[in-house]
Amino acid sequence: MVSKLTQNTDAAIHVSIAGGRKTMGYYLGYALSLFGRTQDRLSHVLVSDGYEGHPDFYYPSKKSRVIYTRDNRPLDTQAAKIALAEIPFVRLRNDIPENLLRGTAGFLETITLARKAELPPELIIDVANKKLSANGIVYTLPDILLAFYCWVIKQTLTKQRILYKPNDMEANPDYARQFIKEYRMIAGEMRDTDKTQQGLKSGMDSNFFAEKITRINKELESVLGKRLATLYKIQSSGSRGNLQYATGLSDAHIHFKPIHQQEIK
């Protein structure tokens, strides 16, 4: 229910965990921590000591009325204090993949995936089966995006080259040749790559370069959640007009799975 309500961007949710079962209050508060946005609030009702749970007390009375605790201590119902206290909570929404924000997973699965953003990055690339595993989350990318992602990683890490965005006025033939080689290997002999090769015959232009990065980063956010995806995105650094592009990963974070190994489960 909390997941469903938070999909309405024009509304704010006020969750009260006062009353009810303690377990239910815990789950409700945790659900808001998982799905809550900036405008959402969590609160609890605080009652003066001795009054809460007393069978003869409901709310501070207008007139003085004495009731007694179990240890025979007198309490005046008129003197009771009731306060609505806002409870700060950590918002984990950015740690959750988009499909889980729509409520397609259970409580434990959602928490498990949210906690993966706290772990050191680990990327396993299974080229043979066209699968990637980021901190244990297995997903796929279209062949052309997987090829571009692998090309960026191999160029910036394995070959220690710096990737710049191609000049708007001049396509880069070296980038095109390197990428096509990666694309043909991943797509396989049965896949027609002629259209892409024809489009890159004069080199890789800035539009192709930028569009692939945007699509890859969007896919990563959707699958991994914003926070975890940040570790794996292709990002720019440097000064304007001289931007360099790479992931934030190092060689220690990435493992290319040999073709003869079994498929990632």
Tens of pLDDT, residue by residue, the chain (265 residues): 898 899 899 999 999 998 878 899 999 998 999 899 999 999 999 999 999 889 999 999 999 999 999 899 999 999 999 999 999 988 888 777 776 777 666 777 777 777 887 889 999 999 989 999 999 999 999 999 999 999 999 999 988 999 999 988 899 999 999 999 999 999 887 677 888 989 999 999 999 999 999 999 999 998 888 888 999 999 999 877 788 999 999 999 999 986 544 443 3
Range of the domain at 196: 120-256
- Whether residues 203 and 163 fall in one domain: yes
What is the number of domains present in the chain? 2
105 occurs within a structural domain: no
The answer to whether the CB of 127 falls within 8 A of the CB of 257 is yes
160 & 207 share domain: yes
Q: In terms of domains, do 211 and 133 share one?
A: yes
Do 130 and 243 reside in the same domain of the chain? Answer: yes
Residues 152, 232 within the same domain: yes
Domain-located, residue 7:
yes
Q: Is 243 inside any structural domain?
A: yes
Q: Is residue 261 part of a domain?
A: no
Return phi, psi of residue 91, to 5°.
-95, 115
Q: Please name the residues in contact with 198: beta carbons below 8 A apart, sequence gap of 6 or more.
A: none
pTM assigned to the model: 0.70
Taking the C-alpha atoms of residue 240 and residue 238, their distance in angstroms, rounded to an integer, is 7
Domain check: are 133 and 242 in the same one? yes
129 and 82 in a single domain? The answer is: no
